[in-house]
Amino acid sequence: MRTIDLTKISADNLKEEHCETLEYFEYLLAEASPTRGLAFFNISYDKESKTLTIPDEIDLAEAIEVVNEYLAIVEEEIAPMPGRAVDYDRYTRPFRGADDGTFDYAGTFVISILCVIQAHFN
């Protein structure tokens, strides 16, 4: 497992991924965490220590694609097919709540978080 100290994420990486400030990134983490979208990928956020724990073997590009496919499924742009996007949908469904939970908190927020993590490691 790898741990990221959020204060070590560069301002350039945040801006590149449309997270203008660290505070906004922390907001995304706080809102996305209850949907368990991050937990699906075995990513955990510790608000107190301001850290993210990420598995060593995670393929961030694949994780981003899974969430993008999930959004296409819930927006009914594609028919659900067996795979990780369907698993993601099923995993997060009990925790998402209303539409905001579906599209923002489990969708676009998680994508933004994954993109920032990917930029941090590149």
Report the run of H or E that residue 2 belongs to, with start and end: strand 2-5
Q: What total of structural domains would you count in the chain?
A: 1
pLDDT for residue 30 is more than 70: yes
Q: What confidence score (pLDDT) does residue 46 get? A: 95
Q: What confidence score (pLDDT) does residue 32 get? A: 92
What is the residue range of 35's domain? Answer: 2-121
Q: What confidence score (pLDDT) does residue 16 get? A: 87
> What is the token pair recorded at 61?
């590009």
Residue-wise pLDDT tens digits, 65-98:
999 999 888 887 777 777 899 999 989 988 887 6
Average pLDDT for the chain? 90
In 55-108, alpha helices (H): 60-74, 84-96, 99-100
In the chain, alpha helices (H): 11-16, 22-32, 37-40, 60-74, 84-96, 99-100, 109-121
pLDDT for residue 20 is more than 80: yes
Do 12 and 55 contact (CB within 8 A), yes or no?
A: no
At residue 26 the predicted structure's pLDDT band, cuts being 50, 70 and 90, is: very high
pTM for the predicted model, two decimal places: 0.90
Backbone angles phi, psi at 4, to 5 degrees: -110, 125
